[in-house]
Structure 1
Amino acid sequence: MGKQRILIVDDEEDIRDLLEIYLKNEGFDALKAVDGLEALEMLEREDIDLIILDIMMPKMDGIQACMRIRKERNLPIIMLSAKSEDIDKILGLNTGADDYVTKPFNPLEVVARVKSQLRRCNMLRSTAPKSDEEIEIGGLIINTATHQVKVDEREIKLTPTEFSILEFLARNRGRVLSTETIYERVWNEPAYESENTVAVHIRNIREKVEINPKEPRYIKVVWGVGYKVE
């Protein structure tokens, strides 16, 4: 099996070079792009396993690039931004990013998040036992082998993180799961100020899965406690 390939997209050369060094030290193959347009061009000709994507860039910023990528691809995306306000984090997650790191960052933290996202994707790709391949709840069908989700025969496109959250909730049908439990299970790291991150992803899932997100059939909020699938 070849090295997993990480695409680093940032208009700051120092950051591209720094992340490249740390990723290569951990056994990854690193490719670099200076903006969203170059990243899209590289995705057309290179096999990429994960993207580290800066938000503020010339020509095409990270938000626009993420939206374009999500129309066609389902690989993990980690956003980088110098802004730490919740609204910026939510904006990044709403466009389909799986995780978010604020500048200035510790490169070891970025590498840890890369490993976490790839580990989760590898778990999703591994073939589940036959009896566990399909989870059916009313008109909701989750196929863990093909990673397809259907609602009333209509196929739904979810990001890797959204799929992991929905599968976890569905496998624990009827149980109320706290945001901390969901975060620790899906992100594979301790939950710290994770409530907004989980809430944004849950909202995105409900908008895709529920016919009327205000009156959900599947994903219910238990106020002050967490979420459950019924």
Structure 2
Amino acid sequence: MSTILVVEDEKAIADILAYNLEREGYHILVAYDGKKALEIIFDKKPDLVLLDIMLPKVNGFEVCKKVRSQLTTPIIMLTARGDSVDQVLGLELGADDYIKKPFVMKELLARVKANLRRVKMMNSESNLKNSLIEIGDIIIDDEKYEIRMKDKALDLTLREYELIKFLSKIPGKVYTREELLSEVWGYEYFGDLRTVDVTISRLRDKLKLDNNDTSEYIMTKRGRGYYFKVS
């Protein structure tokens, strides 16, 4: 049974989320402020976190930042504001996705299921093989979920790791944002395409070893999507 932490300061919303998630068979933990959320996350190690942004004591952005510095736990941020700045900032801090309030419960449950399924699949793949994949200057370590460039390990989130691994399987093949959302995020029916764009942008920055590095690995095919290029 997967454990999900619901971090929401509005008790009515937290209760609704907990009720619906429990009906799906998940074990639910609840925190009503950011400080308590951090205590639970580092103590209980939940399988997934539903994280509101506007929280007392420690806001959701800071919680996400602290968690991501140590753990790869999937984080879905909940925001009451339609401001794209909030959404982009959450993704840049390492959140796996965001859902705007008011949300459709069916959509939220689908995203929770997809994130948990992806983690389970990665763990299964790790048990089946422990191999190194070399593509140009990039080495993908399946055992450590790590990517290295010229012997330097990149500081990637689990989603960023999955994305570059997927794109690099067939260099030159162009994938639409819808295809990437389906294959990497596991969202067949739901999901904001901006999530893909922001993650690609963040990953491109991390693939540059310094400010003078002009190498490009993830390319844009105008009007189509993205593809991986071996430098």
Is structure 2 residue 228 aligned with structure 1 residue 222?
no
- Per-residue deviation, residues 27-57 of structure 1 (Å, max 9, x unmatched): 1100011111111111222121110000011
CA contact (8 A) 2:6 2:17 kept: yes
Aligned residue for 1:93?
A: 91
Is structure 2 residue 46 aligned with structure 1 residue 30?
no
CA contact (8 A) 2:181 2:191 kept: no
Aligned residue for 2:139?
A: 141
Once residues 212 and 154 of structure 1 are traced to their aligned partners in structure 2, the CA distance between those partners, rounded to angstroms, is 12
- After TM superposition, the score normalised by the length of structure 2 is 0.91
Structure 2: segments with no counterpart, 5+ residues: none
Alignment-mate amino acid for residue 115 of structure 2: Q
Further displaced range: 209-218 or 93-102: 209-218
Q: Residues 99, 55 of structure 1: CA spacing in aligned structure 2 closer, same or farther, 3 A cutoff?
A: same
Aligned residue for 1:152?
A: 150
Once residues 161 and 33 of structure 2 are traced to their aligned partners in structure 1, the CA distance between those partners, rounded to angstroms, is 28
CA contact (8 A) 1:11 1:57 kept: yes
Once residues 59 and 219 of structure 2 are traced to their aligned partners in structure 1, the CA distance between those partners, rounded to angstroms, is 34
Shift of 1:192: 6.3
- Per-residue deviation, residues 117-164 of structure 1 (Å, max 9, x unmatched): 01011111113554x833211121112233111111111132222122
Q: Residues 193, 11 of structure 1: CA spacing in aligned structure 2 closer, same or farther, 3 A cutoff?
A: closer
Structure 1: segments with no counterpart, 5+ residues: none
Once residues 22 and 220 of structure 2 are traced to their aligned partners in structure 1, the CA distance between those partners, rounded to angstroms, is 42
Alignment-mate amino acid for residue 218 of structure 1: Y
Further displaced range: 31-40 or 158-167: 158-167
Once residues 192 and 79 of structure 1 are traced to their aligned partners in structure 2, the CA distance between those partners, rounded to angstroms, is 15
Q: Which runs of 4+ in 1 moved over 4 A?
A: none
Aligned residues: 227
Aligned residue for 2:54?
A: 56
- Per-residue deviation, residues 63-122 of structure 1 (Å, max 9, x unmatched): 111011111111100000111232221111111110111111122321211110010111
Alignment-mate amino acid for residue 197 of structure 2: A
Say which SS state the counterpart of residue 216 (structure 1) adopts: coil
Once residues 146 and 98 of structure 1 are traced to their aligned partners in structure 2, the CA distance between those partners, rounded to angstroms, is 19
- After TM superposition, the score normalised by the length of structure 1 is 0.91
Of 180, 183, 187 in structure 1, the residue corresponding to residue 181 of structure 2 is 183
Aligned residue for 2:171?
A: 173
Q: Residues 78, 48 of structure 1: CA spacing in aligned structure 2 closer, same or farther, 3 A cutoff?
A: same
Q: Residues 197, 191 of structure 1: CA spacing in aligned structure 2 closer, same or farther, 3 A cutoff?
A: farther
Further displaced range: 32-41 or 138-147: 138-147
Is structure 2 residue 113 aligned with structure 1 residue 115?
yes
Once residues 191 and 113 of structure 1 are traced to their aligned partners in structure 2, the CA distance between those partners, rounded to angstroms, is 10
